[in-house]
Structure 1
Amino acid sequence: MYRLLISALLGVLLNLFPTHLFAQKNAATDSIYVALQKIQVDSIRIKKTNEYAYNLLVTKKPLRNEIANLAIKNALQYNNQHLLGLSYLTIGYAYILIGEYSNAYPYYMQALAVYQKINEPKNLWRAHLDLTWIQIQLKAYDNANQLIQTAIAITKKENLIPEQAISYNYVGILNDSQGKYELAIESYKLALSLNEKKGLEGNQISTLMNLGISQRRAKKFKDALVSFEKSKIIVDKGNSAYYKQSIYQNLAELTFEMKEYDKAEAYILQALANSSGNNERVLKRGLFSNLYSIYKIKGEYQKALAYSDSLFRIDQSLYEKEKVAEILNLQAKYDTKLKDEKIANQYVLNLQQQQQLLLNKKLLQLTLQQKENSELLFTKRKNELENQKKLQTAAMQKDRLQAKLDKQTSEQQIFTQKQEIATKNRMQIFFALLAVMAIGIAIFIFYNQRKTRNLNALITLQKKDLEQVNAVKDRIFSIIGHDMRAPVNTLTSFNYLLEDHDLSSDKIRVYAEKISQTLNHTSVMMENLLNWSRSQLQGYQPQLKMQHLKPIADQVINTLAVQAAKKGIYITNTIDTDMQVFADGDMTELIMRNLVANAIKFTPNKGTINLSALQDNKHINFKISDSGIGMPTEILAQLNSDETTYHQTSRPGTNKETGTGLGLMLCKTFANLMGGKLKVASETGKGTEVEVSLLSVAA
């Protein structure tokens, strides 16, 4: 059987290569080349000859090397550096496409030498770029790195943005070839950013796919999937069959590596749907191989066998194609040496012997493949039988266990029923009485403990409140006993001086100013005492409504303008005109007046005070900042605590002004009544900032 199959295959090969192919042939007898040389215009003749040589090379036709050399020779004779450089690039690129990098290298070096002499930066860049690719394929990575860096320098100097993006794409390929996947990813991302400025869509797609491949190799599967999906969106818009096939292939390899076999299967089938023609046979072989592995893993052996047969047919087709190309190549190589028909026949005989040996080897491989398929079928049948046996065994074990379980359950139910009947009547009354007693005791203990805790908490709270109220009361009595007596004594003394002494107008003016200060102090003290007393009344509620904050601040500044002017203090109001608070207008004015008065009191002459406000979610925070002397840390801690009733000793101002010690306590109390807060920040010698937070909308 094998001998008949070998004879048939040899017959096919001999029919594919008739003997007239081995007749001698050279450029002088090539009709197309001869016709091209008759073109009179030199530039057109050179370009057409380059194109013809390029086509011969990429299709691996006979005379391709000879025609390529003649194309370069024609360009040298014309003495045009531009056309000469293009000739070198064209022939070199053809050798790259067929994978003959060693043949391509000298042509590109010649092109590089040409473009270094003339001003054609794009072609100079292209020569460096293609040389980079050659060095990568030859694994000369250091040389490749030097070439691509020179290419990037050219693009930056000439501001060639698309070419610069392509260059960074090649940097990524270089790093990926060396296993430096993180550096490759960075290079691809830089290329993408340049493409977004001014790049070609095709380059954007290839860069995204290269990025995805490097991310897959770096095991960053999620990032790779994102990159492939982005390239797929662009491909779907352009409807490019080539790119569709490539993106589906990459998605298939990624999901196969992620062990998502259903998705991998779907992507492979889509890739196959977008591939066509004999040129896709190598691609199809890889896709069929992946499908074979997927179905084998999933246990779908029938489908696995089908794709195994497809692999066999593709391998056979590729083998025949390779042999055809090999025979044509050998014929072109030796056609100048075959002198007569006898030598040609001997050559064919030797070649047939070689083909027979190779066919024997290939048939052996095919036999092994068939054996593997047979083993696969056997494994499938064996697995099916084992599964049936396991299912039967499991069913029998399940039945036995179920019967045993039913018996044990029945016995347990009988035993339980007997126990329940024996103990039910005796224990029922006992547990009922015990439960009632336990519940009664627990309720009694619970209510007593809760009552005790509530009483203790109430007593503690009332004690604290009484202590605070008592301290304030003592302070108020002290203020009334001292500060209320002082202005009365002052008025009495002044009256005595007016009755019994002859005073000059200057002295009367001085005494009047002192009396005015005393009365102002007394008036402020009385107003604060009255407001504090009102805030302590049970059930007292502020009248809250929307208030414009800036007019209140302006009113306070006007009221205290005289005091500020005496010390040369400059007050600024930067509160926005539209700023509103949900507050009691009188309380807000009192808080602001006390805070500004305190700022004037503790700010030296020629100082500054600033009023400002900011919106913070549902609150308005208005601040009063001064450049005064600040306040001690113990007073600052007391003001920033949660207490609203406390004892505070008044400090003299920078000009020995006196106070009652009630102002800040009253501000804090009123702020809390309106649902706000008061916070103080100060540093000794550097000033104080008081921030009052009030609602900006109704709660």
Structure 2
Amino acid sequence: MEKLVWSVIFIFCVLFSFKTEAQIASIDSLEVELKLAKEDTARLRIYVDLIELYDKLSPSEKAMQRVLEGLDLAKRTGNEFAQAKLMQFRGQIYNELYRSDYDGALSFLAQSIQLHRKLSKANPGNFAQQREIVSVLNSTGYIYWQWGKLVTSLFYYDSTIRLGNKLRLIDSTDFRTNRLLGIALNSKGAVLWGLGNYSEAIESYIEASAYFEQLGMTKFLSLAMSNIGLIYESWGQKEDALFYFKRAVSLAREAEDQSATGYALNNMGSFMRSAAQYDSALYYFQLSLEEYAEDNIGGIWLNLNGFGKTYAKMKAYDKSLDYFFKALLLAEETNSDYRRALAKESISATMADKGDYKNALQYANESNAIAEKYGYKEIIKDNYLNISRMYSLQNNYQKAYETYQRYSEVKDSLFSDEKFRQITFMKEQFEAEKKESENELLRRDSLLRDQDLQRARLEQYGLIILLIAMLTFGGYFVVTNRKIKGINKVLTGKNLEITRQKEELALQAEALRKSNEIKNLMFSIVSHDLRGPIVNLGGLVGLISNESISKEEFQKLLPTVLTNIGSLTALTDNLLYWARSQMEGIKAVPQKFDIKEHLGPKMQLYERAALEKGIICIDNLEPATMVYADPYMVELVVRNLISNAIKFCNAGDTITTSSKEANGFVEVTVEDTGQGIPPEYMERIFNDIQFTTLGTKNEKGVGLGLMMSKHFVEVIGGRIWVESIFKKGSSFHFTIPVS
């Protein structure tokens, strides 16, 4: 897994400019100016310029001393703008000096934001003031990112981009604003990558690279090219990845920037490792390490991890573990949760390869505890795969299968993120079809209006001619009057036809809208809810085909497999039957049948699922109760109601199915003692196609079953309703005609 690089990309973008002699001389020159300056205003300006250089080039104890001196002077002179700016530098320099105390650094940045916003409120039109807020938000996002708190980091980067875009509306040519936007977009891409959202990540990288290219920021452009290459590599597009990696190396060397060059070379090493060219990989990692300065923790950590992974591929496990433990030590020193989780995952995988399953399992669980806390999906996925493999090697096949299912679920989630743009494109195609159809309706409506207007004009001309004719040929009044009545009758008929066509077009437009809503829902269900169970079953087949479990162990897992297949079958039946009913106008095929005799065997299919949750099912259907309806529709309704009851019951609850005959109908009731329905949901459960909630064990639904049940009950001539007391249980009732 190469996504570990997110935690250092922004370090390169902001903090590690190469220290030239000329830049150091600038610091010395400002130090001299500071000693000579007498006026407070001049001294404060020099403090701000000097500390900005220290922040970029030499975040040291001396730099912190100058910050405190500058802040003292700013407070004495009442210059709140300088206070806010210096407080930002204090947070950034503090972060570099005390890398594990993120709270301390963030507290200084929070004070800076508070001061800047106070000044901005007093002077809302001050462009420079707003830009300073963008800068502090960007720095805050970086520190949360370095800490491993990705979701919070993403919030601050989004805030940076949102405010920066507002400033671009005022002045799109401002270099500092555009630079900050490019950096924030590049960093946002890295954070999205860390969260497993690859599609949005690459969009952020591409947008960032456009800014860097426009501004001539070659070093930054190199970083963006590396990041794009990493995503292409994760998608398996090796040629595209190699193109971007080579371009990144070329740009970094053109910029003569050591940190960017080190980063690009490290990515080349990772690429060579994935291509099984291990000697070349080690060569590139060594070149990368030589480019990084001794205080560049991120760069050093990247290469320690790179060496460790490469030696693991070469089966030199002791060497591999040596590098991984060094990487873990560095992660502990810098208090980076992401690096800590990733190092432990790597140690676990290597120990498992070595046969040390006990310690491997311990490190995997420790890694997962951190990864699940912060949402590091890629690490969670790899840990579950490692744990499943270890359980299998220890002949604990039940746990191996359960863990493999979790791995499949996380992998499926990442798959959905990666395929986001493909699904969106398919939806956009349907939206385009919808728009085109709507446009056609509008064109036809416009044509009808033109025809109507033309007829109105003809009528006017006709009336004028008739009036002249009446004045000229009074003797023909009676005949002319009859002709006018005839014309009016024809026009009235045509107007009625136009009105009918308009109403028909409106009905077609509404039908088209509903059809597109159904299509979009089908995409959602097929792309996730239907695919997930299939992936889980595929995982089990994979374990069998790889001979990770024996036939005997498979027999033990068979009940779980059958339950999964039953759930998948029920979902598929619902999906296909609902789609058919909506798109073809399904019709009932009624016949006489005994409801107890027909439904009894079908209800037994759900007993296993109920027993697994500790739920008791009771069949109180009256025997010899004849009804006249479509038996398959009735069966689908009952199956959905029982399945829904199981979903919202806990261990010890009961589900009772009963029936009674009255007034020419049989009333079927599915009653449970589960958690009931909140009052605010009662109106939605039969009417909202996308309404669904999690079950008592986080079971998912697709919001289709109850709405489909209502539709089928109405098709067979019955009605359906629900009675529920929240946290006490629910009773679903529906009626079936007797004849």
TM-score (normalizing by structure 1): 0.39
TM-score (normalizing by structure 2): 0.37
